[in-house]
Chain A
Amino acid sequence: MYFNIKHITTALLILFVAASCRKEIKERTSNTELLNPANIDADAGAWKPILLASPDEFPVAAPGATSGPTYTAEINEIKSYQQNMSVADKDRIKYWGAGAVLRWNEIMRDLVAKYNLPPYQNPDGTYPVPDANNPFNNPQFPFANPPYASRAYAYISAAQYDALVAAWYYKKLYNRSAPYKINTTFTTYLPQTNLPSYPSEDAVVVGVMVEMLKLFFPAEQAKIQQLATEHKNARLMAGMNVRSDIEAGEALGRLVAQKFVTRARGDRAGAAVGTPAIWQQMETQTAATGETPWTSLESPKRPPMLPLFGRVKTWLFDSTTLVTKLRPGPPPSTKSDKFKKELDEVLYYSKHATREQVAIVHFWADGLVTATPPGHWNAIAADDFIKQHYSEVRWARNMALLNMSMMDAAIACWDAKFYYFNPRPAQMNPEIKTWTGLPNFPSYTSGHSTFSGAAATILGRIIPERKTAYENMALEASLSRLYGAIHYRSDCEEGLKCGNAVGSYAVARANSDGAN
């Protein structure tokens, strides 16, 4: 036995070099291709809006002429920006040039992740409730948990879609060409298209975001305003829009957003936290049936997450459909043999999950300080949509379909969770330890499964060649909760089924919204 010092030294030096030459973290979309739609969807103004009665519900004034001193002044504004552009300006043009819907979707995921933290307990062991009127201090508002997040993504996507349908309507109506089609004395830094530029689609999205985020992330307005300004300036500097395109677009976006804000204020989500009396009643009701009711395994015991979220107003079907057609049948009785078998299966994975299964648990966990499962499906969709070269309005339409189905999936799932108030596996057998954090709400059905079922169904309609891939992802996401010892098999299977059913309502909408 003799160590060769030369070899050891070499090995150590290699290790030293390997560890020292750290790689910059390259994000998936940091350098993504610029939006250059394969089809500008010139007739999208005729697509069916979600809330708007008609695409011209909110008027947009006719633009000024493209000849004469007013327009020349607008062109000169672009030129004056282009005289002194910094590297940072050019980077921002490229960043926003990847697409308004894409970038604001990423910003949303960032905000959701930042706010996806439960409040810290009071000294007496109770928990404070996040307050939209005082969003800054403990507890911060919101707690962007999965139902909250699904709702935020849905409203924002739906509002973007309606606002862009309206924008496309006016683009076609007024047919004012982009500045680079009128004047060639400045540079364009992004791909040129034949899409009329008034009102600006980017500014429409900005207007929607500025208004909607006041509601969903009220403490972030300073940051949002800064991003909004950067986005609008990037369009001017790139020579893609003149100031009047931007202003008309932003105003339209804001007006449409306000209609969605009004809906959101009346959709019953504000009351979803419930009251101690309601929490107690749910427990008592379930106990009265002879079943074991859910109880919080957190310490101190935390009230269940948004127990009345199942009563929030849906997008794709009505509340009768929810209760009569979508609510899954009851879970196996906690006294039944089937339940015991399923509980044993969870215990098995708690003890014997393989390394690969634990990796699956963590890939789909989407727990605290993540964009949540709906956010994960937004990321999956966005990565695929980039490759499809959609126009902004089609991006928004597809994101709206995806996110409305996931919010409705959250509503259907939360309805089942609090209708049955079924205990978690770890509550029924304390030997069961989980491979990721245990959520603080009843078990049946699995939220991950319901979200994933809905997402896979509508995404399979949007990109048919990826249908099987999405179904496999949804199944894996669903089973990840069993592997993680978070859910029984019934929770996962019924959740996935219910999600698929919810998704089919989005497919029905997609088949008839005029975008095919």
Chain B
Amino acid sequence: MKQTIICCFTALLLLAVNKTCFAQTDMDGLMMSKNEFCIGGSYNYNVWKNYWEGTKQRENLNVGKISTQTMAVMGNYGATKKLNVLFNIPYVITKASAGTLHGQKGMQDLSLMLKYKAINIVASHSRFAAFGIIGGSVPMSNYTPDLLPLSIGMKSKTAMARLLFDYYYNNKWFVTASATYVLRSNVTLDRDSYYTDHLILSNEVDMPNATSYNVRAGYRTKLVVAELVLNNWTTKGGFDITQNNMPFISNRMNATSVGASMKYVFKNKPQLFVKAGANQVIAGRNVGKSFEVNGSVFYAFFLKKKAKK
């Protein structure tokens, strides 16, 4: 039940930024109850024509529009009231609308996260909660990361830590803010040297780490969530795409996006709910100026009988 961070990574490496996040995800202030399990399927469509070559915005007629479709199975399990386990299994398909380059497809990176609700303070009309989230991702298939912008992923193993704060007012209005640090492992390419800002005689690439900030605010009840989302991803290091060069996995990829999303729970069948969202990258560096829409369906149920006192 989440748009995982992995998706976010993928999209970034695809010169796209995929940051719409749903309720009860690794990016929000909601939790599953103990023994509650929620599983869902999602579909994302991300497309860009313009991109930033370094800081210069341009298009490239030799690839036209780059589209990325992501289909994912995702889940969230309430291990305890305070601790949730989240996973995401994405399958990615990329395509260029022009030129001769082959689109890519395949199982991308499995991600797994633990979300812990550390603080919960209830006042008269409001509630404040703080969460700690850690997680990571590993590639699920032997895809090539060396064909950007068409590779389906970066092939880096990642580990992330996030602090998330959620403020809820009058059982209706909320603001959620989070900050994330992402560690990324070296990546091995199928060649014997590569050029960053100099030629490196190795097949191993040092991947710069990254930070991510996310602010979301809107209306939230048990049945409906409607929110606006602002997201920033900043790569801590890396180099700029040089003129007319292809993107490379260790580029300095930065992106800021704005978006909106909603969640709707069916009143007469509250285990079932749907989500939808869209976002647009508004500023970036070495990434696509992408627009994305997504939708998903989830079903929640208890794995054990609800413990009753």
Interfacial residues, chain A to chain B (CB-CB below 8 A): 1-3, 5, 8-9, 11-12, 15-20, 22-30, 106, 109-110, 113-114, 117-120, 138, 297-300, 350, 355, 358-360, 362-363, 365, 368-371, 376, 379, 426, 432-438, 485
Contacts and interface: CB of A to CB of B under 8 A. Distances in A.
Contacts of A379: 192-193, 201
A434 B101 contact: yes
A268 B225 CA distance: 70
B79 A369 contact: no
Contact of B102 (A28, A29, A106, A435): A435
Given A5-B83, A28-B202, 6 more contacts: A8-B112, A19-B157, A25-B200, A26-B204, A433-B103, A436-B147
A359 B144 contact: yes
A5 B79 contact: yes
A26 B206 CA distance: 10
Contacts of A5: 79-80, 83, 85
B206 A25 contact: yes
Contacts of A355: 142
Interface string B122-165: 00000000000011101000101011000000001111010000
Contacts of B220: none
B199 A19 contact: no
Contact of A117 (B186, B205, B242): B242
B300 to A, nearest CB: 14
B35 to A, nearest CB: 9
Contacts of B200: 25, 27
Given A25-B200, A298-B62, A19 B185 contact: yes
Residue of A5, A16, A485 with most partner-chain B CB within 10 A: A16
A368 B246 contact: yes
Given A297-B100, A298-B62, A362-B144, A120 B243 contact: yes
B189 interface: yes
Contacts of A8: 85, 112, 114
The 4 closest A-B pairs by CB, nearest first: A15-B136, A19-B159, A299-B61, A16-B159
B193 A12 contact: no
Given A362-B146, A363-B191, A433 B159 contact: no
Contact of A113 (B62, B147, B195, B202): B195
11 contacts: A1-B303, A12-B134, A15-B159, A16-B136, A18-B157, A23-B204, A25-B202, A113-B193, A117-B243, A299-B61, A370-B193
A25 B146 contact: no
Contacts of A300: 61
Contacts of A433: 100-103
B157 A15 contact: yes
A12 B112 contact: yes
A371 B186 CA distance: 22
A369 B193 contact: no
B245 A369 contact: yes
B274 interface: no
Given A15-B138, A117-B245, A369-B195, A28 B201 contact: yes
Interface string B193-220: 1110011111011110000000000000
B225 to A, nearest CB: 26
B201 A106 contact: yes
A27 B201 contact: yes
Contacts of B146: 362
Residue of B185, B193, B205 with most partner-chain A CB within 10 A: B193
B191 to A, nearest CB: 5
Contacts of A299: 61-62, 98-99
Given A25-B206, A117-B243, A438 B100 contact: yes
Contacts of A26: 202, 204
A131 to B, nearest CB: 16
Contacts of B189: 362
B275 interface: no
A308 B244 CA distance: 24
B299 to A, nearest CB: 15
Contacts of A1: 37, 303
B202 A27 contact: yes
B244 A371 contact: no
B201 A29 contact: yes
Nearest to A4: B79
B277 to A, nearest CB: 27
B85 A19 contact: no
Given A297-B100, A350-B102, A25 B205 contact: yes
Given A20-B159, A119-B244, A359-B144, A12 B135 contact: yes
A426 B144 contact: no
Given A25-B205, A299-B98, A358-B144, A114 B195 contact: yes
A437 to B, nearest CB: 7
Nearest to B135: A12
Residue of B114, B134, B195 with most partner-chain A CB within 10 A: B195
Contacts of B159: 12, 15-20
A439 to B, nearest CB: 11
Nearest to B98: A299
B183 interface: yes
Nearest to A365: B191
A406 to B, nearest CB: 17
Contacts of A432: 100
Given A15-B159, A25-B186, A3 B85 contact: yes
B144 to A, nearest CB: 6
A117 B243 CA distance: 8
B2 interface: no
Contacts of A365: 191
Nearest to A364: B191
Nearest to A23: B186
B244 A117 contact: yes
Residue of A29, A114, A119, A433 with most partner-chain B CB within 10 A: A433
Nearest to B143: A355
Nearest to B95: A433
Contact of B244 (A106, A120, A362): A120
B201 A11 contact: no
B244 A118 contact: yes
Contacts of B136: 12, 15-16, 19
A371 B138 contact: no
Nearest to A27: B201
Nearest to B246: A368
